[in-house]
Every structure is written in structure tokens, then in C-alpha cells.
Amino acid sequence: MRAQVVEQSIEDPSGRRQTVSVNIGESPLAWLHARGHLSQRHYVAGDRLRADWEKAGLGARVTMRWDAAPTQSGRRGPGAAVDPTHAQLTARERFDGAIRMAGPGLADILWRVACAGEGLVAAERALGWPTRAGKLVLTLALDRVATWYRVP
């Protein structure tokens, strides 16, 4: 599989504009890990959190579901609620537990970077944080989540 690399213009912390190559198929966590900013333990914990978020179906739907759900009588038809699978429910429980373990002050940046795929700079800006504060807070959150997932 070929990497999808695009040129992107960014502003560094000192205010200078730079052009960088970005692999759009790479997650922010993978990018940080590949450059030595996250340990293997932190990367695995963040990846497990993202996997549980996706498996639980917590992300926005990008397509419509065309199959009608079964009704009370067992027939398929409109208006019937879809029962979440056991895998979705357990993934949701793990995700909720990990977010609780991270804590309210740390969960925001954790979700933005690990699940929503926002870059660290964009997450800091969205949260109104000073530059470079996000990496420290993200590492603290990932450390707690690694403990939750029992990552050695």
C-alpha cells in the first residue's frame, strides 16, 4: 500500500510558516510514536482506546444504514430499534472505563488525538491551551489509560 503524502503549510510555535509533508493515512498517535514522542506503552494504550471507540460505534456515521432492523415479531421493517451487539457493548464499557480512568482534565485531549484523529497542535488550539502543553497532558492521560488496559 502506498503512503498518501500531501504537502501542508503549517505555522510553527514562533509564528513562521513552513511547508511539511504529511502522510494522511497515519494517525496522530502513530506519528508521535514514530518520532519518539510516545513510548510503546502509550501508543498501544491509545490504539486500544481508538479501537474500542470504533468497535463501540461511537463515531459519527458517514453512510446510511439501508437494512431494516427486525421488529418485535422478528420481521424486518422500519421503526424497530437495532440492538447493539455484545462486542459493541463490551467495547463501550472498556472505552467508558478508560475515559473515566484518564479523568476529566485529561480525557479531552485524549479523545481528540486518539479517537477523533486531531493533531496535537489542532487539539491544543481547540481547547485553548498554550503551545506544547498538549503533549504532556496527552502522555499523562495515556499513562492512566495504559494502566486501565493493563498494558505492560
Boundaries of every domain in the chain: 27-58+66-148
pTM more than 0.95? no
How far apart CA 42 and CA 148 sit, in angstroms, is 12
| CB contact set of 71 (below 8 Å; sequence gap of 6+) | 77, 79, 80
Q: Comparing 97 with 131, which gets the higher pLDDT?
A: 97
Each residue's pLDDT tens digit, 5-17:
667 666 665 677 7
Mean pLDDT computed over 106-135: 92
Write down the H helix ranges in 27-80.
28-34, 40-55
